[in-house]
Chains A and B, each alone.
Chain A
């Protein structure tokens, strides 16, 4: 980071009556949290604006649509329930990506770690059901999900630390392997004869299910996610280990000079990141589905990348950005149900919104400066 960044030219000269306006992008010297909130708010406004045009284009009265979406999501018990349920896995995967990113490591493999987490916990749930004292089963499943995701995550970590193999690539490739592995089990050994041989495992017993709140679908996974957000934030900012992680992310040379063992730290952070992604799988399977089947992750690992990025990899920001992404997804369903929009329009809408948010985020770090001068 430079203290006195030189203004950069980003745009062309705009000519107006012999007075030229030159647009500069200037890096903000320090991004205040108030400024960040302002920018996020303006991004939201921009999203509203863009969707206004989108709605007009597809023949929907925008104000009415905002009203319906707002009511459906925020004014009903179910709306909140849906948001919180959807947020849970996104918080885990977002946190997983963010933790690695604090060390400038890209974990694109949260999707695969999610799957391996579900694999490890399901293995326990299928083989040790009824053989463990009350309450133990779910705890062991929890630990196994972390181990499953963590080991899977440590592969790109090790390859990076030991040989310098790019972690973006290895973690991405391992997603395909994990997905095929789950299919192999579902179409093979784990297929439940009691369910007409469909590619689903047998339903977990109650001992292997996370408790839900009242009559809702919100489950204990949400609490776990919040706890983990706090734990990661605490580690990052209050411990020696966190300091090392952040220092390595900011300036590896300084970290090396300060005696940080970057190799070990890389493996550790990647394993931890994978473990957290594995918990996303744990919370989905033990909290909602109670069995392993196909398509349990609907790209949570990938969406987690967006979540982490929007939060600027800050654990507490993850909560907000996961919330935001949930709104994007849940509002899409409202559009489908209320207006009969086809899924393709919904994808398009989501794509446009993501582009908008991604594109507008630049203004948290840079600000436009207009300089006028006479030609």
Chain B
């Protein structure tokens, strides 16, 4: 039982940066903008969080600065693919280069520096619940904040006018435009807010997981988050499940070795992706029958007033 709880606990810890990044991707893609530059943005967030933490000692400032910096950098993506109408895919790749370079450049002098990682704060009452308590309610502040972010972004996307408009941008920008909504404005908003979440995902590395700086500290998590957005079917709540499932896979890979289970780690690495494809296909088939569209219809398309795609 203890062992089981340890795996679940690790799944949440490993899943949290993925969750933030996935939330960011969900918001951005709901508005119709794919961001393949997540890895670069996470690195920018991680670096800024670490530097600010080092200099101010405040977790709050560190997280805020990470979100701010990633928001700014994601604006480049917005300018290039929304205003200058370049391919979102290509621009996202450029963003990966840019963010990786930027973080490495400014992280140059940080070797050997460390910060105090976030401590666990058991939530009174809740942490005593069997299994769920120690797994979900004996975590650090950024994990709790991620619960709030999930709820908030779900509420924003599905219960508010703003969210409806954002989602409409991803479904039928032409219609929105003819209704007098600013496609550019909403999409820009979504890209920036998405970028901020992705930056917080990066910030989780130096603030909680690995409290120091090293080049490429996120080790490809941004790319996993790109896949997770799809796995979550562009839904913040499912993003929570998806991120923890991927976190679980990461934690399980190590603990299976402890149990002495012989299994190729590479199959374990493939599994989430194969699963995503299968589930996506099944859901698409089901939705085809019901006539529901699961993916934002205008995802990845360039919107230009007066043009038909």
Contact = CB atoms under 8 A, between A and B. Distances in A.
A180 B101 contact: no
Interface stretch (A28-36, A167-175, A235-243, A267-275): A167-175
B281 A159 contact: yes
Given A6-B306, A176-B227, A347-B100, A169 B90 contact: no
A260 B181 CA distance: 37
A303 B89 CA distance: 10
Interface stretch (A82-90, A126-134, A207-215, A350-358): A350-358
Interface in A333-363: 342-352, 354-355, 358-362
B104 A347 contact: yes
A165 B281 contact: yes
B270 interface: yes
A192 interface: no
Nearest to B264: A184
A257 interface: no
Interface string B63-103: 00000000000001001110111110111011111111111
B90 A163 contact: no
Given A8-B306, A342-B108, A348 B102 contact: yes
A351 B273 contact: no
A80 interface: no
Contacts of B270: 176-177, 180-181
A336 B227 CA distance: 33
Contact of A184 (B97, B99, B266): B266
Given A309-B87, A355-B98, A358-B94, A348 B281 contact: no
Interface in A295-310: 302-303, 305-306, 309
A2 interface: yes
B210 interface: no
Contacts of B159: none
B266 A183 contact: yes
A164 interface: yes
Bin the interface of chain B by size.
35 or more
Interface in A180-210: 180-181, 183-184, 187-188
A112 to B, nearest CB: 10
A312 to B, nearest CB: 11
A362 B84 contact: yes
A343 B97 contact: no
Q: Majority SS of interface residues in chain A?
A: helix
Contacts of B96: 351
Contacts of A359: 79-80, 84, 86
A212 to B, nearest CB: 31
Interface string B269-309: 11001101100110011001000000100011000111100
A180 B266 contact: yes
Interface string B96-119: 111111111101100000000000
A14 B299 CA distance: 33
Contacts of B99: 351
Given A6-B306, A108-B89, A164 B101 contact: no
B34 interface: yes
B21 interface: no
Given A165-B280, A183-B266, A302 B93 contact: yes
B53 interface: no
Interface string B205-238: 0000000000100000001001100100000000
A344 B105 contact: yes
A347 to B, nearest CB: 3
Q: Majority SS of interface residues in chain B?
A: helix
B267 interface: yes
A290 interface: no
Interface residues of A, number: 51
B144 to A, nearest CB: 30
Contacts of A259: none
A27 interface: yes
A19 interface: no
Given A2-B306, A172-B227, A181-B266, A354 B89 contact: no
Contact of A358 (B80, B102, B103): B80
Given A10-B83, A170-B280, A173-B230, A358 B105 contact: no
A173 B277 contact: yes
A344 B101 contact: yes
Given A164-B284, A181-B266, A351-B95, A342 B34 contact: no
Nearest to A359: B84
A5 interface: yes
A354 B266 contact: no
A184 B267 contact: yes
Given A169-B230, A362-B84, A355 B105 contact: no
A191 to B, nearest CB: 13
Interface in A1-41: 2, 5-6, 8, 10, 27
Nearest to B81: A358
A309 B98 CA distance: 19
A151 to B, nearest CB: 15
Contact of B269 (A108, A180, A306): A180
Contacts of B90: 305-306, 309, 354, 358
Contact of B273 (A108, A168, A177): A177
Nearest to B76: A355
A177 B277 CA distance: 11
Contacts of B81: 358
A49 B100 CA distance: 23
Contacts of A349: 101
Contacts of B80: 355, 358-359
B302 to A, nearest CB: 10
B103 A344 contact: yes
A264 interface: no
Nearest to A186: B266
B300 A358 contact: no
Given A108-B89, A168-B299, A305-B93, 14 more contacts: A6-B306, A163-B281, A168-B89, A172-B227, A173-B230, A177-B273, A180-B266, A183-B269, A342-B104, A344-B101, A354-B94, A355-B80, A355-B94, A360-B84
6 contacts: A180-B270, A183-B269, A342-B108, A348-B105, A349-B101, A359-B79
